């Protein structure tokens, strides 16, 4: 495959190949071993949304692979003056070896990939967050030694994280339970995919029901970037119910992990005590953004995915 736009496009075998490559690159990096990757590759990074982890992990990752990352703020580039994304795609393809974009509309990423002649990576859209969930799966596998047969639970807004967790975890052989308010359910695209997995997928409005027997619990903020005007409305609906707390953890499997894509709002979607009790797992997850994304760049730019 040429691009990574959503986890729906990966086969289970390709998903495993990315995770195996991420583990290998992580081990090499920790050992100070040079990666087997052509020197001098250039990654263009387009940002229409603010970022900490996405920018730093991609820029560090391409540097560790022996290349260079170029940061492009959409507002400060010609995109901000109305240049069509298809023209930007063709120009950047003449200069760079890969393009990563972090934006709002999934359609923009897909148009970029259609017109680019180099690989395009979805660094986040409102619909999907594939790189984050690849890092999540890498982290769970590190801690649990496997993915097949585990139960994943997600509590909160049915957003890009929920959508990608559904697809990624089911493709990895896990069962998935999602607890979201009915008005904020995951995308029909993710739910249609999950329908093919029968009783391995469960959607509910009850977080306690979703948490029973979970091996890993995921959560995310109640209002994501671009939803700030909905913050008060969402708080009224989510508060006191859609929170990873002691009660939720007591229903999960003993030794249950917690994952949060960050930034975290302690006291809202997760209590401060639960966050700190699982901080090592959460910051392993944050670190693995670097290694998982290096694997994606490595495989796409070498034409091995």
Q: Annotated catalytic, 202?
A: no
**Neighbouring residues of 6: CB distance < 8 A, sequence distance ≥ 6:** 106, 122, 127, 128, 130, 164, 167
Q: Annotated catalytic, 234?
A: no
Q: Which of 53, 96, 131, 132 is catalytic?
A: 132
Q: Annotated catalytic, 261?
A: yes
Beta bridge partners of 120: 99
Q: Annotated catalytic, 220?
A: yes
Q: Annotated catalytic, 102?
A: yes
Q: Which of 6, 53, 102, 291 is catalytic?
A: 102
Are 282 and 268 in contact by the 8 Å Cβ rule? The answer is no
Q: Which of 6, 106, 126, 129 is catalytic?
A: 129
Q: Residue 195 and residue 146: Cα distance in Å, rounded?
A: 24
Are 203 and 178 in contact by the 8 Å Cβ rule? The answer is yes
SS3 state at 286: helix
CA-to-CA dists, residue 297 to 19, 109, 169, 175, 212, angstroms: 12, 16, 21, 28, 37
Closest by Cα among 177, 231, 184, 214 to 199: 177
Q: Which of 96, 136, 261, 284 is catalytic?
A: 261
Beta bridge partners of 216: 152, 257
Q: Residue 264 and residue 236: Cα distance in Å, rounded?
A: 18
Which class for 11: exposed (0-12), middle (13-18), buried (19 or more C-beta within 10 A)?
A: exposed
CA dihedral 165→276→241→221, nearest 10 degrees, is -50
Beta bridge partners of 276: none
**Neighbouring residues of 232: CB distance < 8 A, sequence distance ≥ 6:** none
Q: Annotated catalytic, 87?
A: no
Which class for 55: exposed (0-12), middle (13-18), buried (19 or more C-beta within 10 A)?
A: middle
Q: Which of 3, 289, 291, 293 is catalytic?
A: 289
Are 15 and 70 in contact by the 8 Å Cβ rule? The answer is no
Q: Which of 220, 234, 256, 284 is catalytic?
A: 220
Residue 290 φ/ψ, nearest 5 degrees: -60, -50
Catalytic residue positions, numbered: 102, 129, 132, 220, 261, 289
């Amino acid at each position: 495959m040429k691009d990574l736009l959503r986890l729906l496009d990966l086969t289970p075998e390709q998903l495993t190949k990315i995770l195996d490559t991420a583990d290998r690159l992580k081990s090499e990096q920790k050992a100070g071993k040079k990666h087997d990757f052509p020197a001098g590759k250039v990654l263009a990074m387009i940002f229409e949304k603010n970022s900490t982890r996405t920018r730093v992990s991609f820029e560090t990752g391409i540097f560790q692979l022996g290349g260079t990352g170029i940061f492009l703020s959409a507002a400060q580039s010609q995109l901000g003056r109305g240049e069509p994304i298809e023209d930007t795609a063709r120009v950047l393809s003449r200069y760079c070896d890969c393009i990563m974009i972090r934006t709002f509309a999934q359609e923009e990423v897909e148009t970029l990939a259609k017109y680019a002649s180099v690989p395009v990576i979805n660094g986040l859209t409102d619909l999907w967050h594939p790189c984050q969930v690849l890092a999540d799966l890498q982290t769970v596998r590190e801690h649990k030694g496997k993915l097949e047969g585990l139960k994943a639970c997600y509590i909160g807004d049915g957003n890009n994280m929920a959508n990608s967790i559904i697809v990624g975890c089911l493709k990895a052989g896990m069962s998935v339970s999602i607890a979201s308010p009915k008005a904020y359910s995951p995308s029909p695209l993710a739910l249609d995919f999950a329908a093919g997995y029968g009783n391995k997928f469960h959607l509910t409005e009850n977080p306690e029901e979703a948490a029973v027997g979970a091996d890993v619990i995921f959560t995310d903020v109640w209002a994501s970037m671009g939803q700030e005007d909905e913050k008060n409305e969402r708080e009224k609906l989510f508060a006191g119910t859609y929170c990873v707390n002691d009660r939720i953890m007591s229903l999960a499997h003993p030794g249950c992990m917690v994952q949060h894509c960050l930034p975290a709002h302690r006291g809202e979607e997760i209590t401060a005590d639960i966050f700190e009790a699982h901080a090592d797992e959460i910051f392993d997850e944050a670190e693995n953004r670097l290694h998982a994304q290096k694997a994606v760049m490595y495989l796409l730019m070498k034409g091995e995915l």
